[in-house]
Amino acid sequence: MDGDLLLHWLSSREKDSFGTAITAIAAMAEGTAQARHKAAWTCLRGMEELGHLDLLRAESRWCIRPTTITQLPGPAALALIIGRRTPDLEAHLDDAAALHRIDPAPSGAVSSGRPSTLLLEYDSEADLEQIATRAGALFVSCIATARAGKLEPLAPGLRTAGPNQHGSQIDRYSVRARRFETAGTMRENGLFRQLVHGRNQYWIHRAGEWFSTTHAEGVCLSLKGDGTSYLRFLDAEGTGDPAGTLRVDPALVLPVRCRQVLTLCSGVSPAYTADRAWMYHNVPLSVAAAVARCVHQSLRVP
């Protein structure tokens, strides 16, 4: 599946329903119908994490983001291009500055359907702003650090009635086993899920009250304060606010906004290790700390 062609196609449509995109992307994938459907969803979620589009889950629609040029954190004078992308835009940027294309990693990362990363060399922020204006793009000074600064600590959502005890099977997340298991009782505190109209819905139960949540946020809230650190900051380089690699333990499911902030630090998808951990590169310590605060985790720094 050619990620660059796919991003061009999504950019030309600008917005549409999930169903239309999934059907079109699955047609370009290989394998069984189930495998193609899964690959299509993986592709769309990857595009979202890379900052190219938004998945409006409540509306079952996607929307391409405007073309944006933003600086990468760190001393290297490199800027990332995200959002709407066309062949004409790429040609214009290639003429305007030194444009580098980084292909998705063939292994160690979920690369199926991922577009290449486009990086621009620049001399100054003013120079970069001028390039963006001429290309008809937005300019944002380091979108990764800006979004990290806006991350708020996770909290349960709105109070609700909870799962339907006369509906489909209800599962409860086991912190010890790190997986969902059939719920033995509805009186325990914790994260619960139930299949409703073909989709899993999630609730947090606390002291007799039910609150809506998502899979990722619910897992993060469940792991809060269990005595284990699921985030490690490695290979730091530089002084002040050094950049390094953030290792995310496989038990911790980061919310979309956290994954996107971390991915935008480098513009490439995280590496997936043999022990099923995620490795995000070029992450400033301040960004790693902001993500840790958001998901109620302590950050292990060697």
Residue 113 has a pLDDT of 80
Q: What pLDDT is stored for residue 41 in this prediction?
A: 92
**What pLDDT is stored for residue 96 in this prediction?**
86
Examine the domain organization and report whether 110 and 139 are in the same domain.
Answer: yes
Q: DSSP of the chain, one letter per residue?
A: --HHHHHHHHHHH-EEEHHHHHHHHHHHS-S-HHHHHHHHHHHHHHHHHTTSEEEEGGGTEEEEPPPEEEEPSSSS-EEEEES---HHHHHHHHHHS-EEEEPPPSSSS--TTPPPEEEEE-S-HHHHHHHHHHHT-EEES-HHHHHHTT--------EE----TTSS-EEEEETTTTEEEE-S-SSS-EEEEEEETTEEEEEEEETTEEEEE-HHHHHHHHHTTSS---EEEEEEESSSS-EEEEEE-TT----HHHHHHHHTTTTSPPEE-TTS-EEEEEEEHHHHHHHHHHTT-PEE--
Is 150 inside any structural domain? no
Report the sign of the C-alpha dihedral through residues 32, 216, 150, 56, in that order: positive
Domain shared by 9 and 47, yes or no: yes
Task: Kindly state whether residue 154 falls inside one of the protein's structural domains.
Answer: no
| Residues in Cβ contact with 223 at an 8 Å cutoff, skipping those fewer than 6 apart | 175, 230, 251, 252, 296, 297
- Residue 274 above 80 pLDDT? yes
Question: What would the mean pLDDT of 203-224 be, rounded to a whole number?
Answer: 96
Question: Which residue do the tokens 């002291």 mark?
Answer: 207
Verify that 9 and 56 share a domain, yes or no.
yes
Question: Is 249 a member of any domain?
Answer: yes
**Looking at the DSSP assignment, which residues form a beta bridge with residue 300?**
232
Q: Based on the domain organization, do 117 and 179 belong to the same domain?
A: no
Q: Do residues 165 and 110 both lie within one domain?
A: no
The pLDDT value given to residue 235: 87
Total structural domains in the chain?
4
Domain membership flag for residue 149: no
**Please, are residues 154 and 295 in contact by the beta-carbon 8 Å criterion?**
yes
Domain end position, chosen among 12, 42, 64: 64
Spell out the residues 6+ positions from residue 184 whose beta carbon is closer than 8 angstroms to its own.
172
Confidence of residue 260 (pLDDT cuts 50, 70, 90): very high
What is the model's pLDDT at position 97? Answer: 86
Q: How large is the average pLDDT for residues 267-281?
A: 94
CA distance 42 to 22: 10
Last residue of a domain, one of 19, 45, 64: 64
CA distances from 213 to 155, 187, 195 (A): 9, 18, 14
Backbone phi, psi, residue 180, to 5°: -85, 140
Domain span holding position 191 = 159-223
- Is residue 205 domain-resident? yes
pLDDT tens digits for range 105-145: 764 344 468 899 999 999 999 999 999 999 999 999 999 99
The mean predicted confidence, pLDDT, of the chain is: 93
pLDDT in tens, 15-37: 999 999 999 999 888 889 998 89
Asked if residue 25 belongs to a domain, the reply is yes
296 occurs within a structural domain: yes
**Res 2: pLDDT:** 87
**Are 241 and 293 found together in one domain?**
yes
Is the predicted pLDDT of residue 76 greater than 50, yes or no? yes
Last residue of some domain: 48, 64, 80? 64
Closest CA to 9 of 84, 119, 102, 90: 84
**Backbone φ, ψ for residue 127 (5° rounding):** -60, -40
Q: Are residues 128 and 98 in the same domain?
A: yes
The single residue listed with the structure tokens 């998945």 is 55
Least confident among 99-108, 125-134, 248-257, 264-273: 99-108
Q: Given this model, what pLDDT does residue 106 score?
A: 65
Quick one: average pLDDT of 67-94? Answer: 95
Question: Are 59 and 30 in the same domain?
Answer: yes
Residue 153 lies in a domain: no
Strand partners of residue 53? 64
Q: What is the mean pLDDT of residues 268-283?
A: 94
Q: Are 96 and 103 in contact (CB under 8 A)?
A: no
Are residue 55 and residue 109 in the same domain, yes or no? no
| Total-model pTM | 0.92
Q: Do 135 and 91 share a structural domain?
A: yes
